Chain A
Amino acid sequence: MTKYITKRIFMSALTLFIIIFVLFVLIRIMPGDPFSVERMSAEMILQKREELGLNKPILVQFVDYLSLLASGSFGNGTSLYNGAPIKPILTTCLMNSFKIGVLSILFGTAVGLTIGIVAALNRGKFLDGLCTLVSILGVCIPSYVFMIFLQYTFAYKIPFFPYFFDPSKFLTSAVMPAMSLSLFAISTIARFTRNEMLEVLNSDYVKLAEAKGLYGFELIRKHVLRNALIPIVTVIAPLVVDLLTGAMVIEKIYGINGVGKLMVDAIAGQGVDYNYVLALGIVFSALYIGAMLVLDILYGIIDPRIRLTAKEGF
């Protein structure tokens, strides 16, 4: 077991290293520059680039960056665009996205599970069709389109929620973005739940339980749902990271100071802010890889076959 966990951690660290390298090189070679400014002379720009070590070969810059990263700093620790320190701003934005993300996960999971269960229990009937339609729409409609619809309907036509995100009215402000973000989660969880439920409902042990006289809510809760939920957790884990790391367009439209908006501003602002783009890329990747690592380890603990297969294959 220890060997299995060590291997997984090593693989995750290697993946993160490769991502940082690729990200670093891509950002350096993409069009745009942090100092593409109109009012600075070429001489001053050169001076700034030298100060920040941007004139060195990319590989040397990468090694410098890694050593700074190892000491806990993203590059020189400040935005190249406005000179502000990265860490406190990144933390604030992460918290904002995280709070809305948590709400959307809670909402998405609750609604998704309900739709999935209702659809499975009414297989082939009208309700099943309706639930399937809702889950298909959830995949087809981009969350930001749904956000615009909600904003127009429930903030403009019927002014029930604030038109823009207002940090002083967090709860009412968070409803629309959280609902929009949860759309994909609802449909994914609903489809998965329906399929898993149907599989479990057709299994021998459920038929045996029915034969022994168990029926109704008790049967669903004790035997069907509990067994159907295990594979659903697999889908929810990556969705959690996805929702926690914000949604670029929604945050931009609704004016949320989250990591998604921060990323868009860092790339599409007046100059490309290398330090921010890299910092955000690293944080996003670390979260994903971390979630997958935890999932892998949990699988290994829950199901020894996975551990054994990994031993043979890897």
Chain B
Amino acid sequence: MKKIFTLLMICALLLVTGCGGDDNSSGDKKLSVMLSSNVVSLDTAQCTDSASFEVIGDCIDGLMQLDADGRAVPAIAESFDLSEDGKTYTFHLRDAKWANGDDVTADDFVFAWRRHCQKAGEYSYIMGNTVACVKNADAVIKGADPTTLGVSAPDAKTFVVELDAPVSFFPSLMAFPTFYPINEKFYGTLSENSYGTSPETFLSNGAFALSSYIPGAANIQLKKNDNYWNATKVALDGFQYQVVSSSDNALTSFKNGTLNVVGIGGNQVEHVQKDAELSKNLKTFLSGYLYYLSFNQDPKNHHAGALANVNLRLAISNAIDRESLVNNYVMNGAKATYTAVPIEFAPNAKTGKFFAEDQKQFADVINFDVSKAQEFLTAAKSELGKDEFELNLIFSNEGDSTSKIVQALKSQLESNLPGVKINLQPMPKAEYLSNVTSNNYDLALVDWTPDYNDPMTFLTLWTTSGCEIAEHWSNADYDKIIEDCTTGSLAEDYDARWEALYDAEKILLDNAVIAPLYTDANSVLISPNVKGIEFHSVGIDRVYKNAKLK
């Protein structure tokens, strides 16, 4: 009996220790970075989140990349030519290799783009006629023959893309992971659905390669890819990501030196700013995420009678003190926003001026003005024949400060608009998304992430056939402007298109289709010995290939 027990104990210990002994061979000088959420997938046809985009961006180079200032510069494509009608791009690829030594060829791009459309994932829309306008992309997404997609590889180093309409920001789109290549030969050796699920099933052509990863991993390890075309410029030998969902935990791990780069929330920003030493490491910048109140105007909704009324929507929009909201509740450097496109986003290619630089341009319909809001409310009451409005505000209960923000909104709306009652309804993200996409709400707190560096990434949301968070608002003039600016007459005229987008935004805000609240900010703590991390508000949030650890 004693022998059996001893044997069992030894087996158990061997099992535990044998499956992973301590290994400190990686050395102590390792860059460790926080991710605030799991990486959903490293398959560009499946991923939908910024964490996945970031890790993919570390490992794979597309045709173009964004430089530190957000400009599109060559990556795998050494150069490109654009046809006179602006509808054909010819990319000339440089001599680049995959991590296994294979050449990166134009066929790898053709394969990946066709596969992406065939898989019809959440981000396949970006290939279609609302964004990149790749010829026949919409048809292939719906099931047409993938060989009809407007891409071809006349030779191994030439990749040609045909578009249905000129797209002024097409080169910068090429830095987005959806347009990245996949090594067709390598992919063919994998079992079904296994691509991108482990270091063995994922092939890099970028600055780093995976050394440890499983889907949903809390810890991801990357190592430098020696076969990278620009490997001499990569200073890091590798780094690791740690998923940390609580920003309190993130701050503590930064303080004790476990992590070199962490994102913190509003509460922690206040704490850090009070600490002279710690605050030197704080970097705050606008993220391009727009937070807004969505008004459900669906006639089938039980409160639609009220929210379909433009005066009630204008009353709500003008009763919100956005400055107080960002300074007292969000507190992470976010900026109050009075436009449907966020601040410091989408610069004009000719003037360099951000699209939403003038925050006062729609001040007649969106401002913090209680007396004006009450005038709108009085008009709404008389038009609707009602004195009281009870509205449900749904929001996802994730995030450290969301509940404080919605409490503040409720308090502002109820005190500034007599007769309006707001019921707060927190819910898990999956339930929240299910409700907003099925129109089961009155008011919803929505945050929208830009996918590309153009105002259209926001303005297409409110077309009749736009995003699934549909306010059930439809306007023929608005739809016409958006169509003209994507595939229509204005697509080729940069200045006229830019002006028309302002016209579209005016229609949107005159009708108070949404109530923009604020442009969110990222507050990041970076160890003083880490330099050169590039932050972007579009596509890949953080780029490490030029980072240095001293």
User: CB-CB < 8 A to A59: which residues of B?
Assistant: none
User: CB-CB < 8 A to B256: which residues of A?
Assistant: 155-156, 159, 163
Q: Does B255 contact A (CB under 8 A)?
A: yes
In the complex, the 10 A-B pairs of residues with the closest C-beta atoms, listed nearest first: A32-B430, A170-B20, A255-B218, A36-B433, A82-B41, A163-B258, A31-B431, A36-B434, A84-B215, A168-B23
Which stretch from B102-110, B463-471, B491-499 is at the chain A interface?
B463-471
Interface string of A81-93 (1 = CB under 8 A from B): 1111100110011
User: CB-CB < 8 A to B243: which residues of A?
Assistant: 255
Interface string of A65-94 (1 = CB under 8 A from B): 000000000000111011111001100110
Q: Does B279 contact A (CB under 8 A)?
A: no
Q: Is the Cβ of B193 less than 8 Å from the Cβ of A78?
A: yes
Q: Is the Cβ of B24 less than 8 Å from the Cβ of A81?
A: no
Q: Is the Cβ of A83 less than 8 Å from the Cβ of B41?
A: yes
Q: Which A154-190 residues have a C-beta within 8 angstroms of B?
A: 155-156, 159, 162-172, 174
Task: Indicate which residue in A42, A102, A253, A257 contacts B217 across the interface (CB closer than 8 Å).
Answer: A257
Q: Does A103 contact B (CB under 8 A)?
A: yes
Which stretch from B117-125, B329-337, B406-414 is at the chain A interface?
B117-125
Q: Is the Cβ of A84 less than 8 Å from the Cβ of B467?
A: no
Interface string of A253-281 (1 = CB under 8 A from B): 10111000110010111111000000000
Q: Is the Cβ of A83 less than 8 Å from the Cβ of B46?
A: yes
Tell me the nearest residue of chain A to B119, going by C-beta: A83
C-alpha gap A167/B41 in the complex (Å): 20
Task: Indicate which residue in B12, B244, B429, B436 contacts A270 across the interface (CB closer than 8 Å).
Answer: B429
Q: Does A130 contact B (CB under 8 A)?
A: no
C-alpha gap A162/B22 in the complex (Å): 12
Q: Is the Cβ of B40 less than 8 Å from the Cβ of A38?
A: no
What are 22 inter-chain pairs, A to B, with CB distance below 8 A? A31-B434, A32-B434, A37-B48, A37-B122, A37-B468, A38-B467, A40-B468, A79-B215, A82-B40, A83-B46, A88-B197, A102-B16, A103-B16, A155-B258, A156-B253, A156-B256, A168-B20, A171-B17, A255-B218, A261-B218, A267-B430, A269-B38
C-alpha gap A122/B258 in the complex (Å): 45
Tell me the nearest residue of chain A to B20, going by C-beta: A170
Tell me the nearest residue of chain B to A253, going by C-beta: B249
Interface string of B1-38 (1 = CB under 8 A from A): 00000000100110111011111101000000000001
C-alpha gap A37/B449 in the complex (Å): 13
Count chain A CB atoms within 10 A of each CB in B21, B196, B243, B468 and give the residue with the most: B468
Q: Does A10 contact B (CB under 8 A)?
A: no
Q: Is the Cβ of A172 less than 8 Å from the Cβ of B41?
A: no
Q: Does B378 contact A (CB under 8 A)?
A: no
Q: What is the predominant secondary structure among interface residues of chain B facing chain A? A: loop
Q: Does A205 contact B (CB under 8 A)?
A: no
Q: Does A152 contact B (CB under 8 A)?
A: yes
Q: Does B428 contact A (CB under 8 A)?
A: yes
C-alpha gap A265/B429 in the complex (Å): 11
Task: Indicate which residue in A31, A88, A167, A169 contacts B430 across the interface (CB closer than 8 Å).
Answer: A31
User: CB-CB < 8 A to A174: which residues of B?
Assistant: 16
User: CB-CB < 8 A to B448: which residues of A?
Assistant: 38
User: CB-CB < 8 A to B216: which residues of A?
Assistant: 82, 89, 257, 261-262, 265
Q: Which B240-255 residues have a C-beta within 8 angstroms of A?
A: 242-246, 249, 252-253, 255
User: CB-CB < 8 A to A36: which residues of B?
Assistant: 430, 433-434, 437-438
Q: Is the Cβ of A42 less than 8 Å from the Cβ of B43?
A: no
Q: Which B199-246 residues have a C-beta within 8 angstroms of A?
A: 212, 214-219, 221, 242-246
C-alpha gap A251/B217 in the complex (Å): 11
Q: Is the Cβ of B122 less than 8 Å from the Cβ of A82?
A: no
User: CB-CB < 8 A to A121: which residues of B?
Assistant: none
Q: Does B141 contact A (CB under 8 A)?
A: yes
Nearest Cβ in chain B — how far from A283, in angstroms? 16
Q: Does A202 contact B (CB under 8 A)?
A: no
Count chain A CB atoms within 10 A of each CB in B9, B38, B436 and give the residue with the most: B38
User: CB-CB < 8 A to B191: which residues of A?
Assistant: 85
Q: Does B530 contact A (CB under 8 A)?
A: no
Task: Indicate which residue in A33, A102, A170, A267 contacts B21 across the interface (CB closer than 8 Å).
Answer: A170
User: CB-CB < 8 A to A32: which residues of B?
Assistant: 428, 430-431, 433-434
Tell me the nearest residue of chain A to B440, going by C-beta: A31
User: CB-CB < 8 A to A45: which residues of B?
Assistant: 468
Nearest Cβ in chain A — how far from B289, in angstroms? 13
User: CB-CB < 8 A to A272: which residues of B?
Assistant: 430
C-alpha gap A82/B42 in the complex (Å): 9
Given A84-B41, A155-B256: A168 touches B468 (CB 8 Å cut-off) = no
User: CB-CB < 8 A to A159: which residues of B?
Assistant: 256
Given A36-B437, A38-B469, A102-B12: A84 touches B26 (CB 8 Å cut-off) = no
Q: Does B489 contact A (CB under 8 A)?
A: no
Q: Does B427 contact A (CB under 8 A)?
A: yes
